[in-house]
Structure 1
Amino acid sequence: AHKNAFAAAIFDNPPTRQEIETALHEAGLPMPTGNVMDVLNDLAQSLSPGDFRQTVDKITLYKLSDSSPLSEEDIAACAPSSTEADIDDILMVVADARADQIGPVLRKLQAQGVNAVSLCIGAMRHFRSLHRVACDTTGRPNVWGPNKDRIIGQARRWGPAKLETALTVLTDTDLKLRSAGQNAPAMALVERAFIRLAMLGSR
């Protein structure tokens, strides 16, 4: 290799809200309102752009003969579940402040081929959702999926202030992972951040 050559990791950034709206428009889907758009945005943050496009295509087919507005149930029915469910395991461990379980669960995920960037993106999505629930003033927070009650409980225990600190920790970790000059093993960075969050959550 040329002595001035260098290697930089290239990551697909999650789609922006505007890009999500464009994808829906191109697919001929009606624009969802409020909470449904938030759910779709959270999903987009947790998937690669290619996987998200495939999910939008799946939703389009799912809604082909259904003219009702896009719902959270429609999204849940079409969202990928395998790796996502595995990543959810570690996110629940972190948000439940079970620091001693983080290492073993991370090793299992690493053995399955889950990478550090996916874990960090998943954690940011989860903690953003918790923050939204913690700041909810309606008394009926918008949460969907099998972990609904657990997520509401986590949001109440953490509270908005600690969740904002958690999001700062995750944003810093994400920036380090994406830095071309980063030398520390990526999974070690994520593990350190997750343990820090679990300890914060237990206070």
Structure 2
Amino acid sequence: MKLSPREAPGYFRAPDPRRPGLLIYGGDTMRVASRRQEVIAALVGPEGESEMRLTRLPASDLRKDSAALLDAVKAQGFFPGQRAVFVEEATDTATQALSAALEDWREGDAVMVVTAGQLTARSSLRKLFEGHRTAYAVGIYDDPPGREEIARMLSDAGLDRLTSDAEAALGLLGRELPPGDFRQTLEKLALYKHGDRSEATAEEVQLVAPQAPDAALDDLLEVVASGKPREIGPMLRRLMAQGVLPVTLCIGALRHFRQLHTAASDPGGAGAGVGRLRPPVFGPRRDRIVRQAQHWGMYRLETALSVLTDTDLQLRSVSTAPQMALMERALIRLAMLAAQSR
């Protein structure tokens, strides 16, 4: 039978041991693995505590010994409690062995947890589980976790006190990060707040979140927008040593100054304008954008965007001028423009 996306999260947390098996398939191996771990932990306990009640079988082994699966399902464990058999990376070649095991399964046997990659509607493995009377099949897609799922993950991590900005920041991270990284971020936040009964803030979420690959570029743009031309040269040299291209710097600068312009041009002021940014920004970065937008003003930011647009056209032209020098000159011009308005 098919397990609907609405019913799946609840079943993953509390699988029914009276059902013979569950097929979890999808193109994102991290998401599939996360769900598989959740199901197995619910059936036989956390990893490390229940290895004696869990049998792992690579699906490739079933081609050589198709009876191995049925033997594992029927085996009597030395330790009491529910048993499970985990069949990893199954394909249609495992359909026959799984069909035989499902046919002979009886209540009290080990529950089969089967994982697979992306399966089409014509897949014999998918048809087997979807057409079975009591076994389940569920597809895992790239949809980000919803509010209920994030709330459950927060509860599991022991995070029950958050500000509204922190909740919004975690919702954004849930859409941007792979599931494993997002879960690890929640665990880091829970460890950071251990023994602290105050509400977790957006600043603390940002502190434990994975650092973006363009963090060094953000530091450079902070220096430029704050009007510190003397610090641009050394930072550019470090970025060059990391292999960052002038065009990449220009694109990042254009994106940042467009954000400032959006905030500065809002009739309600920069504080209201920053709320219109997509994706939304939180914590110290939000405060910096508001401060910079107020400092620059809409018209001065239009001048900055004109400078960066001209530089971008030069970088993409057939000009023989040194590209990094062109980019450095543009950034120094912007920093001096910012310094003049102080």
TM-score, length of structure 1 as denominator length: 0.62
Q: How much does 1:134 deviate?
A: 0.5
Deviation by residue 1:52-96 (Cα, 9 ceiling, x = unmatched): xxxxxxxx735155699xx77544551784332111111111000
> What SS does the corresponding residue of 1:184 show, helix, strand or coil?
coil
Deviation by residue 1:5-64 (Cα, 9 ceiling, x = unmatched): xxxxxxxxxxxxxxxxxxxxxxxxxxxxxxxxxxxxxxxxxxxxxxxxxxxxxxx73515
Partner of 2:248: 118
Q: Aligned pair 1:191/2:328, yes or no?
A: yes
Partner of 1:95: 225
Aligned amino acid, residue 128 of structure 1: R
Partner of 1:173: 311
Please state which structure has a larger fraction of its residues in helix. 1
- What is the rounded CA distance, in whole Å, between the counterparts of 1:66 and 1:188 in structure 2? 47
5 Å matches for 1:1-203? 61=142, 63-64=144-145, 74-77=171-174, 78=176, 81-139=211-269, 140=272, 141-142=274-275, 144-145=281-282, 146-179=284-317, 181-203=318-340
- What is the rounded CA distance, in whole Å, between the counterparts of 1:165 and 1:94 in structure 2? 14
RMSD: 2.4
CA separation of 1:171/1:75 partners in 2, compared to 1, >3 Å: closer, same or farther?
farther
- What is the rounded CA distance, in whole Å, between the counterparts of 2:262 and 2:253 in structure 1? 14
> What SS does the corresponding residue of 1:83 show, helix, strand or coil?
coil
- What is the rounded CA distance, in whole Å, between the counterparts of 1:151 and 1:135 in structure 2? 13
CA separation of 1:153/1:184 partners in 2, compared to 1, >3 Å: closer, same or farther?
same
> What SS does the corresponding residue of 2:308 show, helix, strand or coil?
helix
Aligned amino acid, residue 190 of structure 1: M
**What are structure 2's unaligned runs of at least 5 residues?**
1-140, 150-167, 178-209
> What SS does the corresponding residue of 1:97 show, helix, strand or coil?
coil
TM-score, length of structure 2 as denominator length: 0.38
> What SS does the corresponding residue of 1:202 show, helix, strand or coil?
helix
Identity of aligned residues (%): 50
- What is the rounded CA distance, in whole Å, between the counterparts of 1:72 and 1:137 in structure 2? 25
Partner of 1:16: none
**What are structure 1's unaligned runs of at least 5 residues?**
1-59
Please state which structure has a larger fraction of its residues in strand. 2
Q: How much does 1:150 deviate?
A: 1.3
- What is the rounded CA distance, in whole Å, between the counterparts of 1:81 and 1:169 in structure 2? 29
Aligned amino acid, residue 198 of structure 1: A
Q: How much does 1:107 deviate?
A: 0.5
Q: How much does 1:136 deviate?
A: 1.5
Number of corresponding residues: 141
